[in-house]
């Protein structure tokens, strides 16, 4: 979705003429037989790159003049092509340059039905994405594309039911897309046929490293001819070579520009550790139009939940000193920038990445660089066969690389196991000053402990985990050499081999000075085995902070707004520290027999929270009260000099330095919604609150009590339920009174909202209500 307002990119001006530089010019109206000067430009980037190796000058600058370039094949930049020349590929001064993975087609449309047209475009094509006048069109699908739908732009439980499949004559080469049964990402399948009983034959499902059935509700099909029934949809019959299209109302198909995606990757910068491709800069270019690559997402990333496809609009592998800056990546079917295997000093900075099918930025090493690797959740290399040497086995991984000042949003449009920045099997990666929002899963994900040293700082990450569950705005796993699913097994191993937890994560990982907001999960989620973390000066606006089992995590000086600390399944000798933090509500522990090295000197806002914590024999030196935030309702969570939070060691930190810094990016970047601290006070009489698309209030009058058949005035009264809302989908009706959430009595709106806040990650809650004066149990959908 490329708009003119997004094309004003800050570009460095072409340098003044210097004899040490060779300048090559490329233009849409050029000719590859020309010399490549500004007056006689070449036509293709391939032709320009062919002149690099033989250049007499030290450095080569290739300037692309305005227009859209559509290479017929992926552009390869190799050490042989560079021949030791530093290379810069850039848009010419203030000109808009697009490199597309799609090519123009010229269908000669004829009527097919009253609503649809058809055109013969040739047999045997592979058409994954169709664009009309720059707008992506949906394949024929069921249910129909709905931009407002929460999951996959529309899902249905009966998407592949025998009753529906019966109506499909030849579903071969259609696709089935579905969430994981537990909402831990997604699955994708290609249809290979159907049985006599109208069950589909499928291949695929390898996109998720935690095998499971498809989600029962959140699934859809596409590329099925019989589902071509809505404006904008299309279907290509490969055998007949015919493209069918249902035009949008008012569209003139005879004059419209049609394009089909043809490339998975646009540019590959590729060498090796021994002979790297190095000193390449790509600047000020718009990349668009690539294929979706979900069926190529197969390679497991150790024991994390991920599999991966190594490719993207830009791929670097075996590279050094690469700079990708001031570019736009939009309307891509797969990844944007993928940093694969051996890379050193790759900088990805000042870019705008949006509306893409896969990951915006990924740093992923080689599994062969890992000592004693395992590849499934349940796998484990026996201790007597384990390589006990710390650190990586080879250098085939990204290190000393940076993602800085990038604006990222609306990603994972087809693949849901994605992150704004993904890190796996890498070392010393800096993720700084990025703004990331509107993502189906995490904003930033670290898939394993191999090998640490990462710095995650000053990022603004919000509107995350929108289509999945049990995850965080920041998420990590640490299913490293030491890790087993059984907590007692790990306790026994570490008792005997105390250095085991740090064999892979050899350097600490730091999260500092970030702002996180996760509506349906945790703001910070350190999951299975994540170890050796330093977490401080973070503002967590909604989901709290979770530490599942791991070792050597120090969490200090963070602010957990309207939520709390979630310790889950801790090891006997975790050596974890949670101190000098401000938390709002009661801790939410699950199976914590031993509370680490230190859980103390924290500040609690909720009145009952400190007493609850001290029952666990923690927080003996903690305090409770009003933290005296300067202005929490507008996002200033610094405390005043008179605040008692300073007594327990809390220190103010910069509260307005999150996210992108480039003026162009700051101007268009959104910011998270700030609500301020929600108290447990019942609220003023008559006050109503919006919740899940319903209007709710406290039970206050004798009339409300009597009409509902209540024995007292405790509970939350449903005043109004809006059609199509989550409240309606949960079965709630006006006049109902919510009395309990997950077995816990709720006296008023504030108590209910605080109770729900700590379990939003579960995606739902059991509620006991009074409906027509009768007790009734139902499950409330939280997303």
List pLDDT tens digits, range 459-498: 999 999 999 999 999 999 999 999 999 999 999 999 999 9
> Within a domain: residue 621?
no
Rounded distance, CA 627 to CA 603, Å? 8
> Within a domain: residue 590?
no
> Within a domain: residue 458?
yes
Rounded distance, CA 448 to CA 524, Å? 15
Q: What percent of the chain has pLDDT above 90? A: 84
Please say whether the beta carbons of 437 and 463 come within 8 A. yes
If asked whether residues 84 and 162 sit together in one domain, one would say: no
Rounded distance, CA 557 to CA 545, Å? 12
Output the pLDDT for position 11.
36
pLDDT of 7 above 50 = no
Q: What percent of the chain has pLDDT above 70? A: 96
If asked whether residues 698 and 664 sit together in one domain, one would say: no
Mean pLDDT value across residues 362-378: 97
Domain boundary among 101, 133, 165: 101
Task: Render pLDDT for 91-115 as a digit per residue (tens, 0 to 9).
Answer: 999 999 999 999 999 999 999 999 9
Mean pLDDT value across residues 375-379: 95
pLDDT of 752 above 90 = no
Residue 8 — very low, low, confident or very high, per pLDDT cuts 50/70/90?
Answer: very low
Rounded distance, CA 20 to CA 445, Å? 42
Of 461, 465, 464, 463, whose CA–CA distance to 432 is shortest? 461
Mean pLDDT value across residues 415-440: 98
Direct distance between the N- and C-terminal alpha carbons of the chain, in angstroms, rounded to an integer:
27
pLDDT of 2 above 80 = no
Of 200, 170, 202, whose CA–CA distance to 187 is shortest? 202
> Within a domain: residue 274?
no
Task: Give the number of domains in the chain.
Answer: 4
> Within a domain: residue 544?
no
If asked whether residues 311 and 438 sit together in one domain, one would say: yes
If asked whether residues 168 and 233 sit together in one domain, one would say: yes
List the domain range (segments joined by +) for residue 52: 1-101
Q: What is the mean pLDDT of the chain?
A: 93
If asked whether residues 218 and 140 sit together in one domain, one would say: yes
Output the pLDDT for position 556.
98
pLDDT of 165 above 50 = yes
If asked whether residues 132 and 84 sit together in one domain, one would say: no
If asked whether residues 704 and 717 sit together in one domain, one would say: yes
Domain boundary among 101, 135, 164: 101
Domain boundary among 101, 135, 153: 101
If asked whether residues 368 and 462 sit together in one domain, one would say: yes
Residue of 200 and 757 predicted with greater confidence: 200
If asked whether residues 391 and 253 sit together in one domain, one would say: no
Mean pLDDT value across residues 265-280: 98
Mean pLDDT value across residues 14-30: 76
Task: Render pLDDT for 756-782 as a digit per residue (tens, 0 to 9).
Answer: 777 777 788 898 988 877 888 999 888
Residue of 75 and 764 predicted with greater confidence: 75
If asked whether residues 216 and 245 sit together in one domain, one would say: yes
If asked whether residues 330 and 382 sit together in one domain, one would say: yes
pLDDT of 685 above 70 = no
pLDDT of 534 above 60 = yes
Report the range of poorest mean pLDDT among 230-244, 444-458, 769-783: 769-783
CB-CB neighbours of 779 under 10 Å: 12
pLDDT of 18 above 70 = no
Rounded distance, CA 212 to CA 599, Å? 37
If asked whether residues 427 and 513 sit together in one domain, one would say: yes
Please say whether the beta carbons of 228 and 244 come within 8 A. yes
> Within a domain: residue 727?
yes
The region, left, alpha or beta by phi > 0 then psi within -120 to 50, assigned to residue 428 is left
């Amino acid at each position: 979705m490329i708009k003119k307002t997004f094309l004003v990119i800050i570009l460095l001006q072409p340098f003044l003429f210097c004899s040490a530089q060779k300048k090559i010019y490329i233009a849409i109206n050029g000719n590859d037989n020309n010399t490549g000067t500004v007056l006689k430009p070449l036509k293709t980037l391939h032709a320009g790159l062919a002149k690099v190796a033989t250049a007499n000058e030290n450095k080569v600058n290739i300037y692309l003049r305005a227009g859209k370039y559509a290479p017929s094949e992926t552009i390869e930049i190799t050490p042989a092509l560079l021949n030791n020349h530093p290379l810069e590929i850039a848009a010419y001064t203030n000109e808009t340059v697009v490199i597309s993975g799609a090519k123009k087609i010229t269908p000669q449309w004829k009527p097919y039905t009253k609503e649809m047209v058809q055109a013969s475009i040739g047999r045997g094509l592979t058409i994954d994405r169709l664009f009309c006048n720059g707008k992506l069109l949906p394949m024929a699908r069921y249910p129909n594309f709905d931009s407002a739908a929460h999951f996959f732009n529309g899902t249905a439980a009966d998407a592949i039911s025998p009753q529906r499949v019966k109506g499909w004559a030849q579903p071969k080469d259609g696709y089935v897309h579905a969430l994981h049964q537990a909402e831990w990402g997604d699955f994708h399948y290609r249809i290979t046929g159907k049985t006599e009983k109208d069950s589909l034959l499928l291949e695929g499902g390898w996109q998720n490293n935690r095998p499971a059935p498809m989600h029962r509700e959140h699934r859809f099909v596409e590329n099925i001819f019989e589902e071509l029934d809505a404006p904008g949809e299309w279907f290509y019959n490969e055998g007949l070579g015919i493209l069918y299209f249902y035009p949008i109302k008012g569209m003139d198909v005879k004059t419209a520009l049609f394009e089909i995606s043809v490339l998975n990757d646009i540019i590959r910068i590729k060498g090796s550790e021994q002979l790297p491709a190095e000193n390449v800069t790509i600047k000020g270019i718009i990349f668009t139009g690539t294929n979706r690559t979900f069926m190529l997402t197969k390679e497991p990333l150790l024991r994390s939940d991920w599999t991966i496809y190594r490719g993207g609009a830009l791929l670097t592998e075996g590279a050094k000193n690469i700079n990708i800056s001031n570019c736009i990546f939009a309307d891509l079917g797969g990844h944007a920038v993928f940093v694969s295997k051996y890379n050193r000093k790759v900088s990805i900075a000042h870019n705008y990445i949006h509306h893409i099918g896969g990951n915006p930025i990924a740093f992923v090493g080689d599994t062969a660089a890992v000592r004693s690797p395992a590849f499934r959740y349940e796998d484990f290399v026996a201790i007597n066969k384990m390589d006990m040497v710390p650190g990586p086995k080879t250098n085939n991984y990204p290190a000393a690389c940076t993602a800085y000042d990038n604006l990222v949003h609306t990603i994972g449009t087809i693949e849901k196991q994605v992150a704004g920045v993904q890190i796996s099997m890498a070392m010393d990666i800096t993720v700084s000053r990025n703004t990331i929002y509107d993502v189906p899963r995490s904003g930033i994900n670290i898939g394993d402990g191999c090998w640490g040293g990462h710095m995650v700082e000053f990022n603004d990450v919000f509107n995350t985990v929108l289509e999945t569950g049990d995850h965080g705005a920041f998420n990590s796993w640490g299913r490293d050499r030491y890790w087993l699913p059984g907590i007692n097994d790990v306790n026994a191993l570490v008792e005997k081999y105390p250095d085991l937890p740090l064999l892979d994560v050899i350097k600490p990982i730091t999260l500092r000075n970030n702002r996180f907001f996760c509506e349906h999960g945790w703001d910070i989620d350190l999951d299975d085995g994540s170890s050796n973390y330093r977490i401080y000066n973070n503002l967590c606006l909604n989901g709290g902070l979770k530490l599942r089992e791991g070792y050597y995590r120090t969490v200090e000086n963070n602010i957990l707004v309207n939520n709390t600390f979630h310790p889950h399944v801790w090891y006997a000798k975790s050596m974890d520290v949670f101190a000098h933090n401000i938390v709002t509500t009661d801790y939410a522990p699950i199976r914590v027999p031993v509370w680490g090295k230190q859980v103390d000197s924290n500040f609690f806002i909720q009145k009952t929270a400190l007493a609850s914590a001290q029952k666990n024999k923690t927080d003996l030196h903690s305090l409770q009260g009003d933290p005296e935030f300067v202005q929490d309702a507008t996002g200033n969570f610094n405390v005043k000099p008179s605040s008692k939070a300073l007594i327990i060691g809390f220190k103010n930190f910069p509260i307005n330095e999150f996210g992108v810094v480039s003026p162009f990016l700051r101007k268009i970047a959104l910011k998270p919604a700030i609500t301020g601290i929600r108290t447990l006070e019942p609220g003023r009489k008559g006050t109503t609150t919006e919740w899940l698309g319903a209007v709710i209030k406290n039970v206050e009058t004798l009339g409300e009590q009597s009409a509902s058949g209540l024995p007292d005035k405790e509970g939350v009264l449903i005043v109004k339920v809006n059609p199509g809302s989550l409240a309606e989908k949960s079965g709630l009706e006006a006049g109902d009174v919510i009395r309990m959430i997950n077995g816990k009595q709720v006296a008023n709106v504030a108590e209910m909202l605080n109770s729900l806040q700590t379990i939003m990650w579960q995606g739902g809650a059991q509620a006991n209500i009074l409906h027509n004066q009768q007790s009734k149990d139902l499950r409330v959908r939280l997303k």
